[in-house]
Amino acid sequence: MKEAEHEGGGAVQSVIPDYLTEVLADVESDVSGEPAGYIPELAAADPDRLGAVFATLDGKIYGAGDVDTEFTIQSISKPFTYALALADRGFGPVLAKVGVEPSGEAFNQISLERESGRPLNPMINAGAITAHSLVGSQELDPAGRAERVVDGLSAFAGRRLSIDDAVCASEMEHAHRNLAIAHMLRSYHILTEDPRGVVDGYIRQCSVLVTVRDLAMMAATLANRGVNPVSGDRVIGERVVRQVLSVMATCGMYDSAGDWATQVGIPAKSGVAGGLIGALPGQIGIATLSPRLDAHGNSVRGVSLFERFSSDMGLHVMEVPASAPAVVRANHVVDGGRHAVRVIALQGGIRFAGAERIVREIVDAAPAEIKVALDLTMVSSIDDVARRMVLEVARRLTLDGHEVFLVDPEALVPDPDPGEGGRVTVVEDLQHAVRGLVDKHEPGPGSTSDKKQRGPA
């Protein structure tokens, strides 16, 4: 096993690679399980391979062990291909063909809805084969569709990926069960083309070569709302990310999904080559490699590593952190007399709960000052519902006779429109509000046509 990667030439090194090395050493002695034996090329894999990588949402990579060893992606491709199908065809056509319910069965079971023949979810083989058939436009032939899949997987990884032809040929030679599933899907009209062509493309998808580093970056792209942290390219939209992570959380670990959800609590997907990924929204992408599999088809040491990561670092998605500092940092009056401004200084990331606190603060304070400034200088983010709530408060303050300023140097609320009767003046800093540096020719408060003005820098 390789030593941890340390980057940078300074005397002080990051503690994270050393932590990864320590955790790998703790699980290295576990030799239970066996590599996948039903595919000859996979059965020949070195069972002692072991590696782990963390990928942050700003593109930093921390790794230890066999992080650059190539192996085939196998079923870890499923959530990414599902994402491509959703992006290419839309939610309606995909959900009409593939459900989202956990099957409680092994990955290669024929888990179809009794009447419709629709696969229960896209993480089992029946659903994954169907999802593969839905990638790209309807006009694509099987070869073009397979190329679209490889292009999409490459975008998630941030580098050009390729197919292992030897593994692909080995899998296709032993694809009897997948072919049977595909023919069953064709009989229900879930597939509308030659089943063998679809299975061939699906197996090519599973035979794409990746490293642990690649998988961590792919997971980080999901955790980063669909944007690759290194390339900066948006690979899929945020609605697709939410759908994919939800299905990973409930179905990604097959018939051990319940144990995984309670013990680890990270949306995840495993592959029979020994890879395992986890994507924790807004935080990190994680990947491991260890080819020995348990009875569920999941990596034995990979599961142990994720259990350790979740426990050591509090990564369980249901482990709610202590509340951040109050979103209202200060509520005070600046200056005096005719220049007096009631300042509501905000901070941190603002979502619904934070926006509710802002609304309550303003309602309870009932500002007597004509000028009211909502100061976003220390705010890191504000989501759509919070933005709408803040602008509605601005509208109501305007209707109540106030002049409302939005101190928004980072343009977190671009082109704010408080709605009918509302008016908000956007300024770069608080002093613009205090000094009243606004366009004297703008209509006064209460005009239904008023929008905004960004003060001079």
Q: Would you please indicate which residues are annotated as catalytic (active-site) residues?
A: 75, 78, 202, 254, 272
Rounded Cα distance between 52 and 287, Å, is 6
Helix, strand, coil % over all residues of the chain, rounded to 5: 40, 15, 45
Amino acid identity of residue 25, one-letter, is: A
- DSSP 8-state class, residue 298: S
Contact 203, 164 (CB under 8 A): no
Amino acid identity of residue 71, one-letter, is: F
Amino acid identity of residue 39, one-letter, is: I
DSSP 137-181: -TT--HHHHHHHHHHHHHHHHTS---B-HHHHHHHHHT-HHHHHH
Rounded Cα distance between 407 and 411, Å, is 9
Helix residue ranges per DSSP H, 8-116: 16-27, 40-43, 77-89, 91-97
Rounded Cα distance between 439 and 448, Å, is 17
HSE-up (13 A, CA, CB side) for residue 456: 5
Given CA atoms 145, 151, 157, 159 in this order, what sign does their dihedral have?
positive
If we measure between CA atoms, which residue out of 206, 210, 202 comes closest to residue 288? 210
If we measure between CA atoms, which residue out of 51, 45, 56 comes closest to residue 66? 51
Element (H, E) at 71: strand 71-72
**350 phi, psi to nearest 5 deg:** -110, 120
Q: CA of 124: how far to CAs of 111, 250, 367, in Å?
A: 8, 12, 58
Q: What is the dihedral of CA 393, 396, 402, 405, to 10 degrees?
A: 30
Rounded Cα distance between 302 and 308, Å, is 10
Rounded Cα distance between 284 and 58, Å, is 9
Rounded Cα distance between 77 and 269, Å, is 9
